[in-house]
């Protein structure tokens, strides 16, 4: 005699609920990860010797925040990313000397 497995409607409801939750999590977290990727690409593409004013203008055009810190230091970050990655900049004589991406 074969045993037939009969699934209850409750199991299907739990599976459907789990699938919906995975989709919701992807919708919430995927844009946040993409925003960090855009900042990483921008930061790694900055060339040494680029004037501060040009970097500030480019960052603001892309929707990033440019925050001047102490003399010769600035941070670019992105409000759209939940992880708040940063591009830490160092300047000498108003020209870029280094750009380091930090997650």
pTM of the model: 0.66
Taking only the tens place, the pLDDT of each residue in 67-100 is 998 889 999 998 776 667 899 999 998 999 999 9
Beta bridge pairs of residue 95: 51, 92
> Taking Cα atoms as reference points, which of 39, 41, 44, 43 lies closest to residue 83?
39
Output 37 or 43, whichever has higher pLDDT.
43
Mean predicted lDDT score pLDDT of the chain = 84
């Amino acid at each position: 005699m074969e045993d037939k497995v009969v699934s209850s409607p409750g199991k299907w409801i739990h599976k459907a609920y789990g699938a919906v939750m995975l989709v919701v999590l992807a919708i919430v977290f995927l844009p946040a990860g993409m925003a960090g990727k855009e900042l990483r690409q921008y930061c790694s593409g900055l060339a040494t010797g680029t004037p501060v004013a040009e970097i500030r203008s480019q960052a603001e055009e892309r929707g990033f925040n440019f925050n001047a810190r102490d003399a010769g230091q600035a941070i670019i970050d992105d409000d759209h990313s939940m992880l708040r990655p940063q591009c830490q900049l160092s300047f000498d004589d108003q020209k870029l000397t280094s750009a380091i991406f930090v997650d």
